[in-house]
Amino acid sequence: MHTFLREANNGFVPPSSADFDFAPIFGNSILFTKPVLMVFLSVVIAATFFIASSRKAAIVPSKLQYAGESIYTFIRNELGRDVIGPEFMRFVPFLFSLFVFILVNNVFGVIPLLQFPTMSHIGFPIGVTIFSYVCYHYVAIKKHGLGKYLKDICFMPGIPKPVYLILTPVELLTYLVTRPLTLSMRLFANMFAGHLLLLVFVLGGEYLLMSGILLKFLSIFSFGLAIGLSFFELGIQCLQAYIFTLLTALYIAGALADEH
Amino acid sequence: MISRFGFLASGEGASPVIPKPAEIIVGFIAFGILFFLLRTRAVPKFEKAYKDRTEAIQGGLERAEIAQREASQALTMYQAQLADARGEAAKLRDEARVEGAAILEQMRTSAQEEASRITTAARASIDAERQQAYNALISQVGAIATDLASKIVGEALDDQARQSRVVERFLEDMEKAK
């Protein structure tokens, strides 16, 4: 759709947020846009892979089981056991699903044909963040009781009284607004920016290719850069999935801790 | 066309930071489904594999430990039995020595008894024989003496030659008479 716009204009049109909008594939329903279908596809892929790889649960793992198990073990031990502590096992399924879900949806950004990181639509990160948000508040309230939890947030112990004037609003804001906001915004913005960056070089290369002989030659560099950046993006996609999960684990650990 | 990164939605391309409610719901539901599936189907299996593996390793170690304990128990038992056997052997040897000594003593005693018995018997029989010989001699000496005296008296006892002749003849007669 971008191509058509540009040809009509007869000049280079830089990619914009409009490139992130997809018309429904069929009908008018928003449920049949590319990103929505990709999110469901990610569920199918992730669930199939991990159910298939864990099905046998053999002592000596097959290659498939080993692949699934390495990812699971990584989340279980690095993010669960090491961050949350003794009660970690309760949260492992959640952290594991979180990481896998975000990872698959992010990596869609560099998979040929799909080539769109679904998390660059802010609605999806928000949908996942709701889980984290509810989870760490619920855990804290269940563990300490609502009253003590609020008291701990508002009045951090061991601090001179006048400081509460500043600290209490900041803490409240952190727990109730900033955390979920940054959690979803960070993921969304990274994916959005990364995809936009790739678009710039791909569309730029395409534009150069359509132009004069000399510019055609230059398009090689543009495409080359796009390919290089795709690998860079792959790294960022994995990193963002990790960060999201790590922060959720840290929030849960904080909720379980006796002192805030 | 200008990129729109403003917070306000404008026209066809809404601001990217304004979430679409439908996508929030889809994200929420999709994640929920994945969470449910992984929690019920994948995680327990992975944990089972972990547990089995740990048990396999730990079980092996425990089995080895048990085997070692049994082996050392058996060793202690055998050593005890060996010590018992040695003690038994020593006791038997002592007993045998004592018994041997007793037997030896007994044999010596009985041998001595036998010897003294034989000696006594021999002495008794010698005594008896001597007595018999003496008795026989007594009776014969009388007769001989009488015989000799009568001969001496019968002959003339005047000279030495005659006397000795008489005695010699008497002795020769006695020899013949035997």
Q: Do A120 and B16 touch (CB under 8 A)?
A: yes
| Preferred mutation among B4, B10, B23, B28 to probe A, highest tally of A CBs within 10 A | B23
Q: Average pLDDT in the A226-233 region?
A: 94
Checking if the pLDDT of B7 tops 60, the result is: no
Q: Quote the percentage of chain A above a pLDDT of 90.
A: 62
Please calculate the CA angle A145-A151-A157 and round it to the nearest 5 degrees.
Answer: 120
Phi and psi dihedrals of B8, rounded to 5?
A: -90, 135
Q: Average pLDDT in the A198-221 region?
A: 88
Specify whether the CB–CB gap between A236 and A190 falls below 8 A. Answer: yes
Tens of pLDDT, residue by residue over B19-54, are 989 899 999 999 999 999 999 999 999 999 999 999
Q: Average pLDDT in the A19-47 region?
A: 86
Note the pLDDT of residue B158.
61
Q: Do B52 and A59 touch (CB under 8 A)?
A: yes
In a domain, B11, yes or no: no
ipTM of predicted assembly, 2 dp? 0.90
In whole angstroms, give the CA distance from residue A72 to residue A99. Answer: 10
Q: How confident is the model at residue B8 (pLDDT cuts 50, 70, 90)?
A: very low
By mean pLDDT, which of A75-89, A109-123, B138-152 is the weakest?
B138-152
Tens of pLDDT, residue by residue over A146-174, are 998 888 888 888 888 888 888 899 999 99
In terms of residue numbers, what domain contains A129? 14-256
Task: Give the residue, B8 or A55, on which the prediction is more confident.
Answer: A55
CA distance A159 to chain B (A): 37
Chain A: residue nearest B10 by CA? A18
Checking if the pLDDT of A34 tops 60, the result is: yes
In a domain, B157, yes or no: yes
Helices B43-154 & B160-177 angle (0-180, nearest 10): 130
Angstrom CA distances, A164 to A141, A150, A179, B18, stand at 22, 14, 20, 34
In a domain, B151, yes or no: yes
Note the pLDDT of residue A161.
86
Task: Give the residue, B5 or B151, on which the prediction is more confident.
Answer: B151
Structural domain tally of chain B? 1
Q: Average pLDDT in the A112-128 region?
A: 93
Note the pLDDT of residue B147.
79
Q: How confident is the model at residue B156 (pLDDT cuts 50, 70, 90)?
A: low
Closest Cβ opposite residue A97 in set B12, B16, B39: B39
In a domain, A1, yes or no: no
Checking if the pLDDT of A94 tops 50, the result is: yes
Q: Do A57 and B49 touch (CB under 8 A)?
A: yes
Chain A: residue nearest B56 by CA? A59
Structural domain tally of chain A? 1
In a domain, A219, yes or no: yes
In whole angstroms, give the CA distance from residue A245 to residue A132. Answer: 9
In a domain, B14, yes or no: no
For residue B16, with 0-12 CB atoms within 10 Å meaning exposed, 13-18 middle and 19 or more buried, which class applies? buried
Cα A150 to the center of its chain, rounded Å: 29
Average pLDDT over chain A, rounded to an integer:
89
In whole angstroms, give the CA distance from residue A110 to residue A107. Answer: 6
CA distance A18 to chain B (A): 5
B9 touches A: beta carbon within 8 Å: no
Phi and psi dihedrals of A203, rounded to 5?
A: -70, -35
Q: Average pLDDT in the A61-69 region?
A: 92
Task: Give the residue, B59 or B88, on which the prediction is more confident.
Answer: B88
Amino acid at B124: A
Angstrom CA distances, B100 to A246, B88, B96, B97, B112, stand at 92, 18, 6, 5, 18
In a domain, A27, yes or no: yes
Alpha carbons within 13 angstroms on the beta-carbon side of residue A11 total 2
In a domain, A5, yes or no: no
Task: Give the residue, B56 or B163, on which the prediction is more confident.
Answer: B56
Q: Which residue has the tokens 């990709």?
A: A38
In a domain, B50, yes or no: yes
Note the pLDDT of residue A10.
59
In a domain, A94, yes or no: yes
Radius of gyration of chain B (CA): 68
In terms of residue numbers, what domain contains B92? 21-177
In a domain, B2, yes or no: no
In a domain, B153, yes or no: yes
